[in-house]
Chains A and B, each alone.
Chain A
Amino acid sequence: MGDFWFEFVDITQIVGDGLLFGATYALIGIGFSLIFGAMGKLNMTYAAASLAGAYVGLAAFTFVDAPALAVFLVSALASGLIGFVVYVACFRFIPINNHLAALMASVGALFFVDEIIIHTTDGSPLTFPAMFDYVMLELGPYGVRGDLLFVFAVCIISTVGLLYVLYRSRLGLATRAVSQQDVAARLCGIDVHRTNAVTFVLAGLLGGIAGAMTAAAVGVLSPLITIPLTVKGLIVTVIGGLGSIPGAIAAGLLVGGLENVFLYFRGVNERDMYVLLLLFVFLVFRPHGIFGSAINRD
């Protein structure tokens, strides 16, 4: 009985840690979903741009010794800027109904960003500074890592901020209008290109925070994590239902929680395989995701 109790505590602890960390996946998923919602397209560069933002934040820390909060801010701004550039380079001038070309272009941008990172860092992983001292909150039998709690809190705050912008500001109104009926929105005098650009920047800001968060929680930044983070972000987006923000949040937490369980039972090398299997399970049994509508999307 005692063993069982400890096992139970262990596993709930693991799930809890995973859920906290899953908040970063949720942010990445929200970013993909925002852009998909606005344009019906996938921006494959997104996760790479988020990590690139984190690299810029790291540079700010290394060279000018910026304080923790500034590091996140710089990361967010840099990633937002990259988001804008990616929009102009890969989406703005490609015909709106040519999904394939935009997708390929953003894959090209993904390699470009990835290679830039590899070149400036010589391809070796860099240590990302722990933003705070090691804190452990005791909660009965559980311990909560202070940094993970902080990651979680920042993610919640940025999500709430995003939702506020989307649902309470004129800008957000335009974004939502374009995502629902872009022709009608255009007829109402909304500048679709500007709105799309703003969506990319917003998603980029969010991604920069997520990138810095991931790096802060893991303690290391490496070009090796761009593709896995891209894939994980896509998985979260699909499991949540393409274009659904609440879906992305739920799926991010789900993936974070389960991933830690897989890690506990099967080790780090096999962990991601099971996360991918999770995607296939969803594709077979619930192809429209957790909150996806039953509309067939092309």
Chain B
Amino acid sequence: MAYYLGLVQLIGIHTLLGLSAYILMLTGQLSLGQAGFFAIGAYSAGILTVIFQLPILPALFIGALIAAFFAFLVGFPALRVKGLMLVVATIAFSEFVRLFFFNLSWRVPRGDIVVGPDSTNGFREIRYFVANGWSAWEITAFVWVFVVLVMALLWWSDRSRTGSVLRAVGEDELAAQSVGVNLTAVKVAAMTAGGFIAGIGGGLYAHTATYVDHLTFTVLLATFAIAYPILGGLSSVFGTLVAVIFIQGVLVEGLRFLGDWRNIVFGLMIIAAMNLKPSGLFDAPTARILKRAIGLDERGKTGA
């Protein structure tokens, strides 16, 4: 049971990661840097509960704020580059963050042990949940409260004018500018919001895993982050959730019998998916059909 609860937690956390890329993608920005913000959130929240002994809620919140702050900083130079250049720049950012934590050593004695990030050996003993006697059920519920909150907020803003403005920027920057949309503000805001959401995800990840090191936050994780919304399509936040459940729940679990060979199959599946359905597995027509099938057709509701 604990094993499956762990999987449910992971799905929730990866949904947050995917949503952080989703909101950026609405504005037409493709970022392979979400692993970096996730890492900042994870390490910050971990340091706050372990070294500063803060409770989990403020630690998560401050960790997410720190991630959002760095996303805000990255947002400005990112304005000057587009498309593939942005991909390169964000990969570089993500690698920079990873190398930073690879080098970060901040060891503090707590009782009879020494705790804190220990550069190459990783950051162990993020034991807030265990120390406070949380059950696996409680942890899972805690994670999903955030997932539901973030999804609800994104879903709501997607249907409001915010969503239309973000999508307008994604579809045609010049036209958006010409009808009075402040491109800088919108793109930087999307980047910052994405950083915040990834930061929450990272903080939750660190505390459920109790151990993180720099190898957790590689380009592979960043690829997952953008793979979810690409696979799930950009018509609604639920696409991302479905994609996470599909990849983490069905594929990763279903292919477990392949053992070490699983990752090879992964690479092949990405290639195959992109060749067969270049605009995402649940692209606009598919998504519309799916939505009609489950009675959730939300296109065309005018006033939100």
Contact = CB atoms under 8 A, between A and B. Distances in A.
Is there any pair of Cβ atoms, one from A and one from B, under 8 angstroms apart in the complex? yes
Contact of A111 (B77, B96, B266): B266
B4 interface: no
Interface in A101-120: 101-105, 107-116, 119
B289 interface: no
Given A105-B275, A115-B263, A272-B95, A42 B268 contact: no
A227 B218 contact: yes
B278 interface: yes
B84 A103 contact: yes
A273 B267 contact: no
B268 A112 contact: yes
A272 B84 contact: no
B70 interface: no
B34 to A, nearest CB: 14
Given A108-B274, A270-B99, A279-B88, 13 more contacts: A89-B275, A94-B274, A102-B274, A105-B275, A108-B267, A108-B268, A112-B266, A112-B267, A112-B268, A112-B271, A273-B100, A280-B92, A283-B81
Interface of B: 30, 77, 80-85, 87-89, 91-93, 95-96, 99-100, 102-103, 119-120, 218-220, 223, 226-227, 230, 260-261, 263-264, 266-271, 274-275, 278-279
Contacts of B261: 119
Interface stretch (A167-175, A199-207, A214-222, A231-239): A231-239
Interface string A256-298: 0000000000000110110011011001100100000000111
A145 interface: no
Given A93-B275, A235-B92, A99 B103 contact: no
A95 interface: yes
Contacts of A108: 266-271, 274
Q: Which of B218, B223, B270 has the most CB of A within 10 A?
A: B270
Contacts of A279: 88-89, 92
A296 B80 CA distance: 9
A176 interface: no
Contacts of A230: 219
B139 to A, nearest CB: 30
A98 B278 contact: yes
Nearest to A238: B88
16 contacts: A90-B271, A90-B275, A95-B278, A103-B30, A108-B271, A108-B274, A112-B264, A115-B266, A228-B95, A231-B219, A238-B88, A276-B93, A276-B96, A280-B89, A283-B81, A283-B85
A111 B220 contact: yes
Nearest to B275: A93
Contact of A104 (B89, B102, B270): B270
A249 B89 CA distance: 20
Contacts, number: 138
Main secondary structure on chain A at its contact with chain B? helix
B88 A109 contact: no
Given A115-B267, A279-B89, A101 B81 contact: no
A280 B77 contact: yes
On chain A, which size bracket covers the interface? Answer: 35 or more
Interface pairs A-B: 3 shortest CB-CB: A108-B270, A112-B267, A101-B278
B264 A115 contact: yes
Nearest to A95: B278
A111 B99 contact: no
Contact of B267 (A100, A110, A284): A110
Given A99-B83, A101-B278, A273-B103, A111 B267 contact: yes
Interface string A124-160: 0000000000000000000000000000000000000
A98 B275 CA distance: 11
A298 B102 CA distance: 33
Given A231-B95, A287-B81, A109 B227 contact: no
Nearest to A272: B99
A89 B218 CA distance: 24
Contacts of B102: 269
A283 B270 contact: no
Contacts of A90: 271, 274-275
Nearest to B102: A269
A78 interface: no
Given A89-B271, A107-B270, A273-B99, A231 B84 contact: no
A280 B85 CA distance: 12
Contacts of B279: 98, 101
Given A94-B275, A238-B88, A284-B77, A104 B230 contact: yes
A42 B93 CA distance: 18
A231 B274 contact: no
Contacts of A284: 77, 80
Contact of B96 (A105, A273, A298): A273
Contacts of B84: 36, 41-42, 99, 103, 242, 297-298
A128 to B, nearest CB: 24
Contacts of A272: 95, 99
B30 A100 contact: yes
Contacts of B227: 104
Contacts of B269: 108
Contacts of B96: 273, 276-277, 280
A296 B264 contact: no
Contacts of B271: 89-90, 105, 108-109, 112
